[in-house]
Amino acid sequence: MLDLRRYIEGKFVVLVGDRELAERLGVAHATVEEVERFLAWLSREVPLVFKPYLQ
Judge whether 54 lies within some domain: no
Domain of 44, in residue numbers: 2-49
Contact status, residue 42 vs residue 28, Cβ threshold 8 Å = no
Judge whether 22 lies within some domain: yes
Judge whether 26 lies within some domain: yes
How high is the pLDDT of residue 41? 85
Q: Could you list the pLDDT tens digit for every one of the 55 residues in the chain? A: 568 878 888 888 999 999 999 999 899 999 999 999 988 888 787 766 565 655 5
Q: What is the pTM of this model?
A: 0.63
For every residue of 2-44, DSSP letters joined together read HHHHHHHTTS--EEES-HHHHHHHT-EEE-HHHHHHHHHHHHH
How high is the pLDDT of residue 42? 80
Rg of the chain's alpha carbons, rounded to an integer? Answer: 14
Q: What is the DSSP letter of 27?
A: -
Task: Count how many domains the chain has.
Answer: 1
Judge whether 55 lies within some domain: no
Alpha-carbon distance of 52 to 14, in angstroms, equals: 22
